[in-house]
Chains A and B, each alone.
Chain A
């Protein structure tokens, strides 16, 4: 455990993290993650974070060492996409039993590794440590070392048991494992001046493929993507890249900055969400590559591509602008992507009434401040109850958030859109932003909202059915003697017949109430001697349906 806590300290002694550099020594030690509150809100554990960061490596087996809880309850819950192997979608766990808890689970772990290699021939195995084996002192580092030697295949320990901290810490610990055991262990077949790494890009819903064609067009090669649609060998060779882009500004910064230290690979933080950000990122990639020796004409080509794509996207967004005018958005993203999404929404003319910054860093917040101006409605921590209240009072027309809070929005009959990991649409790049607008439009203008917001007829005081029926009961009790005028008055002069000769006040009810049995009688009493054929048939039907008082008496 001491080595683990040393690693954790190492993660926070991050020289390149502006966040940390500005903190006091004590605050730095604590790290950038708050300890979870017992009985307070819940987030994922460190193991969760580590698995999220690494699972998009598609050709390796991910083996979770622990009781069934950690993997059995969680596998197959993220939509990263793979262009090759689907081994990553299989789930492997040692499913520790009581006996392993008593005697230690190392043997079982070793056997499990052997079984996987025999059956699935993965390029590598990532072994995840979880709480219970960590408590009983299973040394997964040692087991992995032996397994690597004996099985002739990289077996990499990922030491991030859940209880050491939050999901975000887990992301970084996963990064440490990569730095320590994977990156720089192999050499690429060839290199080009256009090789880049993407770090912290997970290819959710295959969205990176919306951007990749642009890079291809420019001749920029993604040497390795850490970790979306990643391959083990690519990461192992990633130290030969010329530059790197940090896509998610939080999860794997330690990887980016240590690769800069060790291999001199410069990196920048960028985003492919939103038009501006996409363009800036492309330019920045080009600039860095040129700085590191790529021909300067790369920038010209980049500018051409950017201009062409921007024009196309802007033209597409124009369509939505009038439809979005005056529409208000509540953004609850957990903070990580807030600023890039904010920019994108504003581009389409949506008004942002609030954005949560619970998990955002100071830098993220500054960025939000910058794009939103002084009226940045940053919300530290929105409880579900407050969220519900805001939406119920129609402070926002649509909410964008992760899956966990969706029902708060839906139950208030407010449109909602998933912009976190479980979403099924890809929102990256120039295409993605148009897709996002399309989805927002679809959600805002779906005809279900008007129907759902209407109360049930019996809940509406103005047209209360109860009141109506009570009124009718009253009429019925007052009407001891059937009387045409009264009935007419009570029922309103609703015409049941289209016959011009018939008195306006004759309604089905009055026919019934008068107990008239013949057409003649009705015609007489309604002062309409010449009833038309259609009305006559209708009256006959009505009187036939109504048992007369004489019939009743006979029975």
Chain B
């Protein structure tokens, strides 16, 4: 049970963390016909845009209120107004999602009040949903921006439901954390549908960022959950929340509509998948289809085959809390030793990570820990590649951003199938590394001052 510490450096070097407003925009990207808008200077948006494009290799809609130095001092009402009008006129969005940034939070713009005024002045905007979320850059991280934005979308867009009203038993709401990929969401959708359920994903980045070719050009998101569907989420029988970060959103849903929720902190690994499938079976009142019994068997077999390679590995992992908890727990259950862990922001799951200490810090911290503790496998987003190269250990990319490999959107870690794929990928990585870099040489067992100094190849 981990102690959470914070590195006390003045300088963050090789940051693991990304900013909160970008996380918020990411959530809005899972809504259909959406235009996320960052209230700040243009650079913040441009960087966010580049980040998403490099990760998903997709066109990404993202706009800015383009705060200049003067506007920042005077307050941004006019910029917000002009931005909303421009977006409305040019791109006809179904929703505009607005996140604040460090610049506008430092000034203290009251955007909610701006929006009320804008609506008064421009009656044509009456029907356009405008959702605002406060997400200063100088607080928290990417994951927090996502969770706040999803919770806010629920508060603003879900129609309240009378607690006594009849519910549609075949409908479930799914609130996925930002650590899930479009591929993960597709897998979850398949599982739920196999049990005869009709899921509504909020946000649904699978609909918008799964890399398909749309029929027509659209300047907004090309898919995702529609505002109309969000409004009716209160009719569902259950809410399934995935990742501890989604507790707040699930609670917001329950408070507004009375829909009860089940929170699954993890979906990677045999046991968490069992728990999930059993729950879905309960919720749907249907037995587990043979397909999943088969997949379970395949996962069990994969675990047997891979434990030779993964067992005993000293793992260094850097990721946002929920992803870190999920993957590191699975690897712990595969016999790996969690040796170094760095994350970006506080979370209740961190205490349950199965190791001594989790550091809220940067990739420099991870690299140093991995070096002193002689880790032999590193997992983080793409920025970790430099550290892994310097340490000369195998590197697995997980999380966001993954800009130097293809298929980030389809990588999958949930359920029996996702876990199996992850296990194979990791084991193969380790095997390749052994073949390429860990062959014994005459030097390996060289005589040193202390006699026969054993420097064997890393145990495999």
What is the interface of chain A, defined by CB distance below 8 A to chain B?
1, 35-40, 42-48, 63, 66-77, 89-98, 100-101, 108-116, 131-132, 134-136, 161-166, 384-385, 388-389, 392, 403-404, 407-408, 411, 413, 422
- On whether A43 and B13 interact (CB within 8 A), knowing A37-B86, A89-B386, A101-B138, the answer reads no
The interface residues of chain B lying within 8 Å CB-to-CB of A392 are: 217
Docked pose: A96 CA to B103 CA in angstroms: 12
Is B66 at the interface (CB under 8 A from chain A)?
yes
The interface residues of chain A lying within 8 Å CB-to-CB of B147 are: none
- A384 adjacent to B59 (CB under 8 Å): yes
B1-53: which have CB < 8 Å to A?
Answer: 9-15, 17-19, 21-22, 37, 40-51, 53
Docked pose: A389 CA to B72 CA in angstroms: 37
The interface residues of chain B lying within 8 Å CB-to-CB of A91 are: 13-15, 383
Docked pose: A108 CA to B46 CA in angstroms: 27
User: What are 6 A-B pairs at a CB distance below 8 A?
Assistant: A38-B79, A48-B46, A67-B102, A70-B47, A136-B106, A407-B53
- On whether A40 and B383 interact (CB within 8 A), knowing A69-B44, A90-B14, the answer reads no
Q: Quote the shortest CB–CB distance from A307 to chain B (angstroms).
A: 41
Q: Quote the shortest CB–CB distance from A393 to chain B (angstroms).
A: 12
- Per-residue CB proximity of B70-109 to A under 8 Å, as 1/0? 0111000001101111110010000000000111001100
Count B-side interface residues using an 8 Å CB cutoff: 70
The interface residues of chain A lying within 8 Å CB-to-CB of B11 are: 63, 92-95, 111-113, 115-116
- On whether A163 and B59 interact (CB within 8 A), knowing A71-B15, A408-B217, the answer reads no
- B79 adjacent to A68 (CB under 8 Å): no
- A76 adjacent to B41 (CB under 8 Å): no
Is B134 at the interface (CB under 8 A from chain A)?
no
Docked pose: A95 CA to B21 CA in angstroms: 15
Is B62 at the interface (CB under 8 A from chain A)?
yes
Q: Quote the shortest CB–CB distance from A277 to chain B (angstroms).
A: 29
- B386 adjacent to A43 (CB under 8 Å): no
Is B337 at the interface (CB under 8 A from chain A)?
no
Docked pose: A68 CA to B73 CA in angstroms: 21
**Closest chain B residue to A385, Cβ basis:** B217
User: 7 new A-B pairs (CB below 8 Å) besides A39-B64, A116-B13?
Assistant: A36-B42, A36-B64, A46-B43, A68-B17, A71-B15, A93-B12, A162-B42
- A73 adjacent to B18 (CB under 8 Å): yes
Q: Quote the shortest CB–CB distance from A75 to chain B (angstroms).
A: 7
- B59 adjacent to A93 (CB under 8 Å): no
Docked pose: A47 CA to B71 CA in angstroms: 17
- On whether A44 and B43 interact (CB within 8 A), knowing A38-B79, A39-B83, the answer reads yes
The interface residues of chain A lying within 8 Å CB-to-CB of B53 are: 403-404, 407
The interface residues of chain A lying within 8 Å CB-to-CB of B46 are: 42-45, 48
Specify which of A44, A90, A166 is in contact with B13 (CB 8 Å cutoff): A90
Q: Quote the shortest CB–CB distance from A320 to chain B (angstroms).
A: 28
Q: Quote the shortest CB–CB distance from A375 to chain B (angstroms).
A: 27
Q: Quote the shortest CB–CB distance from A417 to chain B (angstroms).
A: 15
- On whether A132 and B106 interact (CB within 8 A), knowing A38-B64, A38-B80, A74-B50, the answer reads yes
**Closest chain A residue to B59, Cβ basis:** A407
B349-377: which have CB < 8 Å to A?
Answer: 362, 364
- A98 adjacent to B138 (CB under 8 Å): yes
Specify which of A70, A71, A135, A384 is in contact with B217 (CB 8 Å cutoff): A384
Docked pose: A422 CA to B53 CA in angstroms: 12
Q: Quote the shortest CB–CB distance from A465 to chain B (angstroms).
A: 19
Is B136 at the interface (CB under 8 A from chain A)?
yes
Q: Quote the shortest CB–CB distance from A80 to chain B (angstroms).
A: 15
- B58 adjacent to A132 (CB under 8 Å): no
The interface residues of chain A lying within 8 Å CB-to-CB of B59 are: 384, 407-408, 411
Docked pose: A351 CA to B73 CA in angstroms: 49
Docked pose: A72 CA to B101 CA in angstroms: 14
Docked pose: A70 CA to B217 CA in angstroms: 31
Is B230 at the interface (CB under 8 A from chain A)?
no
Q: Quote the shortest CB–CB distance from B79 to chain A (angstroms).
A: 4
Is B67 at the interface (CB under 8 A from chain A)?
yes
- B141 adjacent to A68 (CB under 8 Å): yes
Q: Quote the shortest CB–CB distance from A327 to chain B (angstroms).
A: 23
**Closest chain B residue to A5, Cβ basis:** B69
The interface residues of chain A lying within 8 Å CB-to-CB of B85 are: 39
The interface residues of chain A lying within 8 Å CB-to-CB of B141 are: 68
